[in-house]
Structure 1
Amino acid sequence: MSKFKSIAAVVPVAAVVGWLGFTFWQAYQPAPVRMQGQIEAQQYNISSKVPGRIEQVLVRKGDDVSQGDLIFTLLSPEIDAKLEQAKAGQEAAGAMAEQAEKGARSQEIAAARDQWQKAKAAAALMEKTYQRVDSLFKDGVMAEQKRDEAYTQWQAARFTERAAYQMYAMAKEGARDETKRAAAEKARMAAGAVAEVEAYAADTQVKSWYDGEVTQVLLHAGELAPQGFPVVSVVDMEDAWAVFHVREDNLKNYNKGAQFDALIPALGNDHHTFKVTHVAAMGDFATWRTTDATQGFDMRTFEIEARPLKPIEGLRVGMSIIVE
């Protein structure tokens, strides 16, 4: 009976001693490192490269959009007017190029030929007149001055005939190759101007370039949208990641490619696996602490990014994420 009493007396003492030993052991263990980060995701601002008045916005906050969906439209009478000007210029340049390619009209060629024939007949008449005056001069009937005047008129008529013939030949030949090429290039330049204005006109119908969820609608129908000003913001939660600031004495555990489990309190007690995809090349003192003087340096922090290995349902931007 005394043996059982002794054991009964020893057990509480042993329990107390064990508890005290565990407490002292736990007190001297290093405290667990807890890091808190937040969720971020790729965000896109949808804007127009041309200014204008918003005609209508076709989405609201919370709407899911897909690539190619029409987001908003702009009303820009100035672009419509410039497009009409550009098209008119294209038509004019095209007509000039066609005219240069075809050359003179048949009526113009016939008129030039008639002018040449007229000048040719005048030159023939002046030649005969000179010959008659020259004969009279040789017979002593006509003064030398009259003969010289008749000769000058004959030569002038010959030059007029040659000039008329050159005009006729030029009309038959048509425009020079250089003129045709210049006219064709002007037509091509005008077509480029039309294409440019059409591109601006097409940008009044603004579509989404990405899939995502609408987070902000900054401008509404009737308001003026400056060039490049964001009208609608879209966030793609399929392209989400976690951001942490890791102290350098713990950075060795978070090299690029390392995996770890993390808790997202907003989504319950389940842990999710993340993979480090980026480690900042430069540290900072955004969150720093002074170390003991014997260690000789202060702790820097490095920003890391980690992406979930599997999609996480219900994930939102700004949610806290905890790693121990």
Structure 2
Amino acid sequence: MKKVNLLFFVLLLGLWSCEKPAQEMMLKGKLKREVINVASKIPGRIERIHFQEGETVKKGDTLALIHAPEITAKIEQAEGAVAAAKAQYEMVFKGATKEQIEQVNAAYEAAKEQFVFAEKSYQRIKKMFEEKMVTAQKYDEVYAKYLMAQAQLDGTQAKQKEIESGVRSEKQKMALGSLKRAQGALKEAHIAYNERYLLAPADMRLTSVALKEGELALPGYNIFIGYAQQATYFRFTVPEAEVHQYKIDEVAKFHSPFDSSLQIQGRLVSILALPDYATRKSMNPNYEVDQALYELKFVPVSPGLADSIMTNITFVMPKK
């Protein structure tokens, strides 16, 4: 019995020793896909979820609907601001109304009559003051009323000339600017209203749905996460000592170690250095040289075949 067990152990050791060199001659990699995150631009509660994890969606499909009543209120406020700014703009360019012209003319006539009376009173009191018939206090009071009447007449006369000549160009520009600002606010509110619909940015397979109906969605929070369709690639990692053997645009053939029927050709599109934390470090740098790690990114020559394979499937190819 002991001889049988010993023989079995020797056979396993032989098989392992044969398999290990074969594995060391292979470069291991994974099938990957580009990840797409779909987040909300506006805050609100999830009103409806149209797709669940594992489902495939097309570009433009509505993934979810967000309930945001505050946006409707902002639209109403913006519409009111546009109406007021538009009326102000039209009034500036049309000029004063008939009633406004009549009011200004009446005010001018009243100010003119008051000035004539004040001037006569001043001339009388001036002569009396020169003959020392009134006090200086009385003279000062009449003179002050005369100056006030003159200032009021000048003001109404200037207002009358302004109405007759029309509104200044500066005021017209101000009215136009107010109108454009109100229109911009209304446009912004309508854009935010359309953002209630979360649309798929590309063909993708959903892998995660973070929220449920009734939960609160915050701006920038990823609600849907998925893999992009027709964005498959293969990722292999090689050390610094071997990376120089690979060239951009060369074609390699790799297969699945668990399914011999999965054989795909890929074209090398990029060679990227991995971050420092992925660098191989020796415990004793006096005897071994540290090596940086590099990522080889292959895209399938036949994308249709690769799209049917599950993500993170392992693939191998012979080392150079």
TM exceeding 0.5: yes
Contact 2:282 2:288 in 1 (8 A): no
How far apart, in 1, do the equivalents of 2:118 and 2:285 lie? 121
2:110 corresponds to: 118
Q: Which of these residues, 277, 288, 292, is aligned with residue 269 of structure 2? A: 277
1:50 corresponds to: 42
Structure 1 range deviating more: 170-179 or 43-52: 170-179
Contact 1:46 1:208 in 2 (8 A): yes
Asked if residue 33 in structure 1 is aligned to residue 25 in structure 2, the reply is yes
1:201 corresponds to: 193
Change (3 A) 1:124 1:266: same
Asked if residue 316 in structure 1 is aligned to residue 304 in structure 2, the reply is no
Contact 1:283 1:303 in 2 (8 A): no
Q: Which of these residues, 243, 249, 272, is aligned with residue 251 of structure 1? A: 243
2:64 corresponds to: 72
SS in 1 for 2:178: helix
Contact 2:274 2:292 in 1 (8 A): no
| 1:130 shift after superposition | 7.8
Asked if residue 262 in structure 1 is aligned to residue 282 in structure 2, the reply is no
Q: Which of these residues, 60, 75, 86, is aligned with residue 94 of structure 1? A: 86
Q: C-alpha offsets along residues 247-280 of structure 1, whole Å, 9 cap, x if unaligned?
A: 3333233222222110024654242111111112
Asked if residue 239 in structure 1 is aligned to residue 231 in structure 2, the reply is yes
How far apart, in 2, do the equivalents of 1:121 and 1:55 lie? 72
Structure 1 range deviating more: 203-212 or 149-158: 149-158
Contact 2:273 2:293 in 1 (8 A): no
Asked if residue 301 in structure 1 is aligned to residue 293 in structure 2, the reply is yes
How far apart, in 1, do the equivalents of 2:75 and 2:31 lie? 46
Give the CA RMSD over aligned residues. 3.6
| 1:201 shift after superposition | 1.5
| 1:293 shift after superposition | 10
Q: Which of these residues, 152, 177, 182, is aligned with residue 174 of structure 2? A: 182
| 1:290 shift after superposition | 6.5
| Identical amino acids, percent of aligned pairs | 24
How far apart, in 1, do the equivalents of 2:174 and 2:31 lie? 60
Structure 1 range deviating more: 227-236 or 242-251: 242-251
Change (3 A) 1:168 1:309: same
How far apart, in 1, do the equivalents of 2:39 and 2:54 lie? 18
Change (3 A) 1:292 1:309: farther
Contact 1:275 1:309 in 2 (8 A): yes
How far apart, in 2, do the equivalents of 1:266 and 1:232 lie? 32
**Structure showing greater Rg:** 1
Structure 2: runs of 5 or more not aligned: 1-17
Contact 1:130 1:151 in 2 (8 A): yes
Asked if residue 214 in structure 1 is aligned to residue 226 in structure 2, the reply is no
Q: C-alpha offsets along residues 188-213 of structure 1, whole Å, 9 cap, x if unaligned?
A: 11221222222211111111111122
TM-score of the two chains, using structure 1 as the length reference: 0.75
Contact 2:270 2:298 in 1 (8 A): yes
Structure 1: runs of 5 or more not aligned: 1-26
Contact 1:129 1:150 in 2 (8 A): no
| 1:307 shift after superposition | 1.1
| 1:53 shift after superposition | 0.1
1:104 corresponds to: 96
After TM superposition, the structure 1 = structure 2 runs for residues 17-32 of structure 1, keeping only pairs within 5 Å, are none
TM-score of the two chains, using structure 2 as the length reference: 0.76
How far apart, in 1, do the equivalents of 2:284 and 2:151 lie? 110
Change (3 A) 1:81 1:159: closer
**How many residues of Structure 1 are paired with residues of Structure 2 in the alignment?**
290
| 1:183 shift after superposition | 2.0
Q: C-alpha offsets along residues 126-159 of structure 1, whole Å, 9 cap, x if unaligned?
A: 667788x69x98xxxx98649x799957776555
Structure 1 range deviating more: 202-211 or 294-303: 294-303
How far apart, in 2, do the equivalents of 1:207 and 1:294 lie? 57
SS in 2 for 1:277: strand
Q: Which of these residues, 215, 221, 226, is aligned with residue 218 of structure 2? A: 226
Q: Which amino acid aligns with 1:322?
A: V
How far apart, in 2, do the equivalents of 1:127 and 1:287 lie? 100
| 1:122 shift after superposition | 4.6
